[in-house]
Structure 1
Amino acid sequence: MSNSSPTAAVQLCYEHLNGSCVKTPYSPASRVILYMVYGFGAVLAVFGNLLVMTAILHFKQLHSPTNFLIASLACADFLVGVTVMPFSMVKSVESCWYFGQTFCTFHTCFDTAFCYSSLFHLCFISIDRYIAVTDPLVYPTKFTVSVSCICISISWILPLTYSGAVFYTGANEKGLEELSHALNCAGGCQTVVNQNWVLIDFLSFFIPTLVMIILYSNIFLVARQQAKKIENTGSKAESSSDSYKSRVAKRERKAAKTLGITVIAFMISWLPYSIDSLIDAFMGFITPAYIYEIFCWCAYYNSAIYALFYPWFRKAIKVIVSGRVFKNSSASMNLSSE
C-alpha cells in the first residue's frame, strides 16, 4: 500500500498471475516511436514482397528462372512480415509475450526457417548470376526453369526441416535446462540455444554468405574484363554474334550488380546479429536486451527493403497501383529500363 515499497515500481506482464515475467516499461513517447519504426518495417515487408510476387507472376516479361527464384525469396520475406515481425514488434515494445507458449514455439520456428530460406535463395541466385555473367550464351540451357524449381525446393525444405527438428525436439536447450527453466515465466518467450547449435547456426549463415562473396567477386572481375574488351573493340566492326553477345553480357552484368547490392544489404543486416549470437553463447549471454533487439530488427528489416533495388519493380508497382494491371494487355507490357 505504501509508495515507498521497493516492489511498488515493478511491473509484471500479468499483474494477477503468479510466476509472471517482469516487464521493462518504456515511456509513452518511446513506445509510440518504436511501434512506428517496427510497424513500418512489417508493413513494408508484407506489401513490398506481395507486390514483387504479383509483378513476377503477372508480367510475362518477368517469367524467367531467376525471377522465379526472386518470387520465392519474396514469399519467404513476406512470411517473415506476416508471421514473425508483428509479434516480435509487440514483444520488443511491451517486453512481454502475450500470444501463448505454443505459438512462441511456432514463432521461433517460423523466424529461423523463413530467414534461412531467404539466405538459401540468395545463395542460389548468386550461383545463377555467376553462370549468367561468365557464360551468357550457354546460360539459358544450364539454368532452366526445372533447375530453378529444384533450387526453390531446397531453399524451403532444408530450413523448414532444420528449424522443426531443432526446436521441437528441444535439442537447442540441451545442457542449458536450468537456464531455460529460470527464463520460463508467464509472458516470456525466450529461446535458449546451446553452444553447439549456435555454432551450427553461424556456419549455416557464414558458409552460404562466403559462397556469395566469392561468386560476386568473380562476377565483378569478369564484368570488368568484359567491359574492357568491349571498349577495346568498340572502334572495330563487330560481327552480329559479337554484338549480340556484348548486349547479353551487358544485361546480365546489370542484373548481377543489382543482386550484388541485395547481397551486401543482406550481410550488413544479418552480420551483427549472427556474430552477437555466437559471442553470447560462449560469453554467457552478456549482450544487453536493447542491443539484441536492435540487431534482431536490423535483420528483420532486410526482408522489407531489397525489392526497392530492382528497376523493373519500380515500374511494375506504378502499373499495379494505378490499376492498369487489370487491363488485358498489361501482362505483355515492357518493364525494361532501357
Structure 2
Amino acid sequence: MEPETTVNRTDTVNDIHPCYELDNTTYLFTSNPSIICVLLHVFLSALSVVTICGNLLVIISVSYFKQLHTPTNYLILSLAVVDLLVGIIVFPFSMAYTVTSCLYHEDLFCKVRISFDVTLCTASILHLCCIAIDRYYAVCQPLAYKRKVNDRVIGIMILMSWALAALIGISIIIAGFNQGKCEESCLIDALISTTLACIFCFYIPVIIMLSIYLKIFLVARRQAISIQTTKSGATVSKMERKATKTLAIVLGVFLLCWTPYFLCIFIQPLTYDVTPIAVIETLNWLTLSNSMLNPFIYAFFYSWFRLAFRMIISGKLFWGDFTNSKLL
C-alpha cells in the first residue's frame, strides 16, 4: 500500500522527501526511486537489523545465563524487549509510512505507526525511571536493597511500565497527537494534546530521573570519601557504582536522542509555520537510533556482557550447557 497525502503547496520534490514525488496536488511514494532514496532505505534497513541483533543478544544473555538473573538485569532485559520491538515494528512502519506521508493524511497505518512510537517511547522512559529507582536503593540504601528490590517488586514495576505505556499510547491517539502542521482550527486541540503528551511522557519522568541520579551521585561521592572497612565491602560498592555509571550513560544517550524531538513537537503547535520535512525526518530517526545504541553501551562497559555476547555469536551455547558459566 502506498501512502498518499494531499498538500496545498507546489513544492519541488526535493522539498518534500527524496522518496516522494508530486502528482498534481498529491504526493506519492515514487515508483522510480532516486539513488538517494535507495541509499536512505538501505541505511535505515541496516539500522533496523543492527537494532534487532543487538537487543536479541542482550535478551538471550540475560535469559540464558543464571548469573545475570538479577533485578537490575531484568529491567535491562525488559528495556531490550522495548528496543527490539522498535527494530521489528517501528523501523519498517517508519520507512513505509514516514512522518512526511503522515503529516497531512492520517489513515489507519499512520495511526498505528504513531501509536507504536508513543507506546514504546513511553515504555523506554518508564523503564529508565524504574532503573533509576533500582540504582537509588542499590547505592543509597544498600542494606535495604535486597529486601525492597526483589524479583516480585521488579516484576510489578515492569508490568506497570508496559501497561501505563500502552494506556498512554492509546490515549494520545484518541486525543489527537500533532507532530507537524497545524491550522488555526486545531490549534487549541494540538496545544492540549501535544503539550500534555510532552509533559507526562517525557519532561516529568526525565526530571524525576535526573533528580534521582543527582541524589545517587552525591551519596556515591560521600561513600568514595569515607574509608571502606572491608575489601569485600569496597568491591561491592565499586561494582554498584560502575553499574550506576553505566546506566546513567544509558539515560544520557536517551536524552541526547530524544530531547531535540520533544522540543520540536512541543514548540510546533505554538507557531503557524510548518517544520521543515528534513528536520522532522532527521529528529524522528535520531530518536529511533537510541534503540540501537543501548546494547553497544552494555558491551562497552560490562566485561561480562562482552563475554556473553562472544559465547552467543560463536555458537558455543549449542555445544553444551553453559547456563551456570562464571561471567562476573
TM-score range, shorter chain: 0.7 to 0.9
CA distance in 2, matches of 1:26, 1:122: 43
1:280 is aligned with what amino acid? Q
Residue equivalent to 1:4: none
Deviates more, 1:102-111 or 1:57-66: 102-111
Structure 1 counterpart of 2:34, which letter?
A: P
Q: Any unmatched runs of 5+ in structure 2?
A: 1-9
Q: Structure 2 counterpart of 1:261, which letter?
A: I
Aligned equivalents of 1:133, 1:172: Cα separation in 2: 41
Q: Who is 1:330 aligned against?
A: 322
Q: How does 1:310-325 map to 2 (within 5 A)?
A: 310=298, 311=302, 312-325=304-317
Distance 1:181 1:87 in 2: 29
3-state SS of 1:21 partner: strand
With normalisation by structure 1, the TM-score equals 0.80
Structure 1 residues 179, 121: closer, same or farther in 2, change over 3 A? same
The CA deviation at 1:314 is 2.1
Separation of aligned partners in 1, 2:152 and 2:127: 15
Q: Secondary structure at the match of 1:333?
A: coil
Q: What is the TM-score of this pair, normalised by structure 2?
A: 0.83
Q: Which of 274, 277, 299 is the equivalent residue of 2:265?
A: 277
Q: How does 1:190-229 map to 2 (within 5 A)?
A: 194-204=190-200, 205-229=202-226
CA distance in 1 between counterparts of 2:289 and 2:163 reads 24
1:253–1:272: structure 2 CA closer, same or farther, 3 Å change rule?
same
Q: Return closer, same or farther for 1:315/1:193 CA change in 2, 3 Å cut-off.
A: farther
Structure 2 counterpart of 1:125:
131
1:227-279 deviations in whole A, cap 9, x for unaligned?
A: 2224xx6xxxx4xxx43332221111010000010000000000000000001
The correspondence of residues 247-266 of structure 1 with structure 2, limited to 5 A, is 247-266=235-254
**1:172 is aligned to 2:164:** no
The structure whose Rg is larger is: 1
Contact 2:75 2:127 survives alignment (8 Å): yes
Alignment of 1:115 onto 2:121: yes
Secondary structure at the aligned position of 2:274 is classed as coil
Aligned-pair distance for 1:23? Answer: 5.8
Is contact 2:182–2:190 with CA below 8 Å preserved after alignment? no
**Which consecutive unaligned segments of at least 5 residues does structure 1 have?**
1-6, 183-191
Contact 2:22 / 2:28 at 8 angstroms: preserved in 1? no
**Structure 2 counterpart SS, 1:330:** coil
Taking the TM superposition and a 5 Å limit, the aligned residue runs for 1:67-106 are: 67-92=73-98, 96=101, 101-106=107-112
Identity percentage of aligned residues: 35
Inter-partner Cα distance in structure 2 for 1:147 and 1:22: 50
Amino acid corresponding to residue 326 of structure 1 in structure 2: F
Of the three residues 67, 84, 87, the one matched with 1:61 is: 67
Shift of 1:34: 1.8
Q: Distance in 2 between matches of 1:49 and 1:249?
A: 28
Q: Partners in 2 of 1:327 and 1:250 — Cα distance?
A: 35
**2:251 match: secondary structure:** helix
Q: Tell whether 2:155 aligns with 1:149.
A: yes
Q: Deviations over 1:79-111 (max 9, x none)?
A: 111111122124449x547xx932222221111
Contact kept, 8 Å, 2:181 with 2:272, in 1: the verdict is no
Distance change in 2, residues 1:178/1:266 (3 Å): closer
RMSD over aligned CA atoms reads: 3.2
Alignment length, in residue pairs?
304
